[in-house]
Amino acid sequence: MRSKTRVLIVDDEPDVLLTMRLILEAEGFTASLAADGETALRRIADEHPDVVLLDLMMPVLDGWFVLAELSQRVRRPYVVVCSAKTGNADRARAQDLGADEYVTKPFDPEDLVALIKTLLASARRPARI
């Protein structure tokens, strides 16, 4: 049984990856990074994270593709979309594809940490990967 919660941060902006890792590690999480959708899917398969912080606009495979891929799985991590796309249409589309939360950039990192904790504390999905 794992002691630490694993969070996968997916963003094509290196500075966002770096700062979020520092913050999440300071909060006691284990953070891993992916700069594109393809790497993200590979890491999800290899590392079974509890939470995925997912950017939408990325090279190679974008966040939408990752969401669609995860939505077909029975057991999947919590997904918090973190995007600069602020439109309601994007928000609704992400929800349709099974995103648990939608956070628009720029976000307050403290709020994001609190959101992750609330999500993990909720017992909506008993079975985790």
Partner 1 sequence: MDQLPVGINERIRHEAKVAGLRSKSKPSIEMVERRRMQLWLVVLVVMLGLGAAAVSVSMASGTASWITGQPWILAAAAAALAIGFCLYAVEKEVHLHRLSRLLVDERVLNSEMAKRLEMNSALSNAGKALNSVLDLDEVLDAILANALVLLGGSSGSVMLLEDEEYLRVVAIRGSEIGRDTRVHVGESIAGRVAQSREPLLVTQEVIDGELSGHADRVSAPLKAMCVPLENRGQLLGVLKISCSDDQEFDTVDLQVLSLFAEPVAAAIAKAGLYEAERAHVAQLLDSERMKTQFVASVGHELRTPITSIRGAVAASRRDIGAEKRIELMDMIERQSGRLQTMVEEILASARVDEDAGKPVLRRIDLSALVRLAALDSSVAGRPIEVIAPTSCEVRADPEAMRRILGNLIENAHKYGAEPVRVTVQQADTSVVMSVVDQGRGVAPDERERIFERFYRTDPNGIKPGMGLGLTIVRGLVESCGGTVWVEDAPGGGAAFRVSLRVRSNDELREAASAQ
Query: What are the residues binding partner 1 (CB under 8 A)?
Result: 12-13, 15-16, 18-20, 22-23, 26, 57-59, 62, 82, 84-87, 104-110
Cα dihedral: 92, 94, 95, 99 (round 10): -160
- E strands within the chain? 6-10, 30-34, 51-54, 78-83, 101-104
| 33 three-class SS | strand
Nearer to partner 1, 4 or 59 (CB): 59
Nearer to partner 1, 113 or 120 (CB): 113
User: Closest separation between CB of residue 31 and partner 1, Å?
Assistant: 12
Dist. CA 29–CA 45, nearest whole Å: 19
User: Closest separation between CB of residue 34 and partner 1, Å?
Assistant: 15
Nearer to partner 1, 35 or 99 (CB): 35
